[in-house]
Amino acid sequence: MHMGMGIILETSRLALRELTLDDLDFVAEVFADPEVMRFHPKRFDRQESEAWLDRQLRRYRTHGHGIWLVTGRADPRPIGLVGLMLQEVEGTWEPEIGYFIHRPYWRRGYATEAALAVRAYAFGPLGKRRVISLIMPPNTPSQGVARKLGMRPEREVQFRGFTHVLFAVEAPSER
């Protein structure tokens, strides 16, 4: 367990905290899994996973957020990677909720639970007016999570050389 690691968000079952270099084994395991990466261009080797982890650490410093490690509250073992990162989509910077749950933990509602907490954090403390998720057209499981977040498909976009559906939801208006 990472003592002293600050928890960013908590739900009834989950805790989200910043990643550290000590999390590389888990990150590499997730991104090497053929099922987790089924809708991505390729699986990551350890070096690519380390580069991804380094990007998150830079995002924390630059933006104050990125993809976080998801653990159980009762059991501190890692479950997945969920968070908020700024992405440039067709020339506009948008906050994207991203989620990767490791295969042993699928179909338990963890992606939705963690992503709902990230959405609330984005609209609350971070003051974002809108959040998106970029999802490849065949990735219906991730589209299902996006819909549970209140997101709706807006349009197809080219992102990093591949067609994605841009799902989005606006912050509730204060009345």
* 88-97: pLDDT as tens digits: 999 999 999 9
* 106-139: pLDDT as tens digits: 999 999 999 999 999 999 999 999 999 999 999 9
Over residues 83-108, mean pLDDT: 96
The pTM is what? 0.93
Residue 17: per-residue pLDDT: 96
For the chain, the domains span 7-170
- What are φ and ψ of residue 129, in 5° steps? -90, -15
Beta partners for residue 98, in sequence order: 83
Q: Outline where 91-164 has alpha helix (H).
A: 110-123, 140-148
CA 76 vs CA 13, 66, 97, 103: distances in Å: 11, 20, 22, 17
| Location of structure tokens 């084994």 | 25
Angle among Cα 114, 136, 50 to the nearest 5 degrees reads 65
Class of domain 7-170: alpha beta
